[in-house]
Amino acid sequence: MFPSKQVIASFGVRGNTRRLTGGQGTTYLVGKTVFKQVENEVVTRWVIDTLAQIEQRGFRIPRFLVSTSGEFLVDGWVAYDFLPGTHVKGRWIEKRGVLDAFHRSLKNVSYPPFLEARMDPWARADKMAWGEMIIECHSWLQPFVNKLTAEIKPLQPLNQVIQGDPGNIIFTEDEAPAIIDFSPYWRPADFSLAVLIVDALVWEDATNSILEYFRDVRQLNQLLVRAELRRILELDGLHRIYGRDCLDEIDKHKPTVELICSMAAAAP
């Protein structure tokens, strides 16, 4: 569904409309403004309020537009400035620096109450990976889930609001990297780094050498176990919505599961 002419006009925007790639296919560019269809109004208002209060030091984040009626949401749509930049493989030190800076800016943000009730595929997978829900998954995924859960050991987490989808970082030549599509979770800040590593190993053809950039991260092995477990359990939730093809992605995870389990088993 495209944003209507009335929605676009309400934000004072003009230009041709085109769908942006990635995400859930509900984001469009009109001129130099991004329009995104809102899935959860409570979460969206929290994100807008939270991002408006933090200092952008070492990173960029989008500025949300206010409509002519003084609202951030119009008929289920929000609008924000388009941030130039591209996704780049590698650059782990820079990506870690961006996430660390972003999480420092969020350190004093209170627990968002909506997280408790959130039950989309990503939230369910996260809660199962952290032992807050009983794990339920398709039989195709069960062997990998069993391997990972066998390596789970207690953690001493210091939770805060984090970016749960750390791959949403874009780069330009002359500006600070930008964080787009903020996905709030309540976990240790370093868990975001673990998800970044897992995604790089599975989807960006990263080698084991990526771990050298994160050796100083406390409890890294256990964070990696939970990060990979979360990503695999997400496949189950997406399978229930989109079908069997989502389960086929497990083949890409096999080497990463073996690596993470061997690291966790060897750790004292």
Structure confidence at residue 238 as a pLDDT band (50, 70, 90): confident
- Secondary structure (H, E, C), 213-226: HHCCCCCHHHHHHH
Residue 99: is its pLDDT beyond 70?
A: yes
Sign of the Cα torsion 105, 225, 113, 80 reads positive
Domain boundaries, the chain: 5-81, 92-266
Look at residue 86 in the predicted model and tell me its pLDDT: 92
Exposed / middle / buried, residue 115 (Cβ in 10 Å: 0-12, 13-18, 19+): middle
Q: Identify the residue with better confidence: 52 or 24.
A: 52
Structure confidence at residue 239 as a pLDDT band (50, 70, 90): confident
Residue percentage of the chain with pLDDT more than 90: 83
Give how far Cα 253 sits from Cα of 204, 213, 219, 220, 263, Å. 12, 21, 21, 18, 15
In this prediction, residues 235-251 reach a mean pLDDT of 82
Look at residue 164 in the predicted model and tell me its pLDDT: 95
Of 8-17, 141-150, 231-240, 243-252, the range with the highest mean pLDDT is: 141-150
Look at residue 217 in the predicted model and tell me its pLDDT: 96
Phi, psi for 81 (deg, rounded to 5): -60, 135
Structure confidence at residue 246 as a pLDDT band (50, 70, 90): confident
Segment 178-199, tens digit of pLDDT: 999 899 999 999 999 999 999 9
In this prediction, residues 23-47 reach a mean pLDDT of 89
Helix (H, G, I), strand (E, B) or coil at 20: coil
Tokens of 48: 């807008």
Q: Identify the residue with better confidence: 20 or 131.
A: 131
Which of 186, 266, 252 is CA-nearest to residue 222?
Answer: 266
Query: Of 109-113, 167-171, 239-243, which range is least confident?
Result: 239-243
Please tell me the pTM assigned to this model.
0.93
Helix (H, G, I), strand (E, B) or coil at 190: helix
User: Right CATH number for 5-81 from 1.10.10, 3.30.200, 2.60.40, 2.30.30?
Assistant: 3.30.200
Look at residue 148 in the predicted model and tell me its pLDDT: 98
Structure confidence at residue 80 as a pLDDT band (50, 70, 90): very high
Altogether, the residues listed in the chain come to a count of 268
CB-based contacts of 145: which residues, under 8 Å, 6+ apart? Answer: 135, 137, 229, 232, 233
In this prediction, residues 37-62 reach a mean pLDDT of 93
Asked if CATH classification 3.90.1200 holds for the domain at 92-266, the reply, yes or no, is yes
Segment 120-170, tens digit of pLDDT: 999 999 999 999 999 999 999 999 999 999 999 999 889 999 999 999 999
